[in-house]
Amino acid sequence: MANPQSNRELIYIGSSKKDATKLPKDVQGVFVAALKIALNGGTHEDAKPFKYHGSGVFEVVCDYNGDAFREIYTVQYKEVVFVIHIFQKKSKKGSETPKPDKDLIAQRLKWATQIYKDLYGKKTKKN
């Protein structure tokens, strides 16, 4: 039986797609794999809920040559997965996400909601 979520669309918000192309190939591979799984309704082994936002927002962290890279995406909508932000973490405060990145993520989540409404009308969120 086919997975009903396998027809989800993938939409990159802001500069996320361009930012993804600048990543090391190994990091790109992890992030693409996580998105493929999300498009099919699953959760990649390296994905975890993004603690600064509500349910349905995930973060994938990939360490590469001593650098930490992050991908933030949302699966809040049954028709689409939005890639919200892709960046290299440069903060020295442990695993804390820098405030400018948190602010950008919050803004892009609002954009994703508006894009969703524009594309799909005022349908309700996933289930």
**pTM of the full predicted structure?**
0.87
**In-domain check, residue 4:** no
Q: Give the pLDDT of the chain (127 residues) as one tens digit per residue.
A: 344 446 799 999 999 999 999 999 999 999 999 999 999 999 999 999 998 887 899 999 999 999 999 999 999 999 999 999 999 987 666 667 889 999 999 999 999 999 999 998 865 555 4
Do the domain assignments include residue 83? yes
Residue 2 lies in a domain: no
Total domains, the chain: 1
Domain containing 27 — which CATH number? Answer: 3.30.2310.20
Q: Is residue 26 part of a domain?
A: yes
Residue 125 in any domain: the answer is no
Q: SS3 for 21-64, per residue?
A: HCCCHHHHHHHHHHHHHHHCCCCCCCEEECCCCCCCEEEEEEEE
Domain annotation covers residue 97: yes
**Owning domain of residue 85:** 9-120
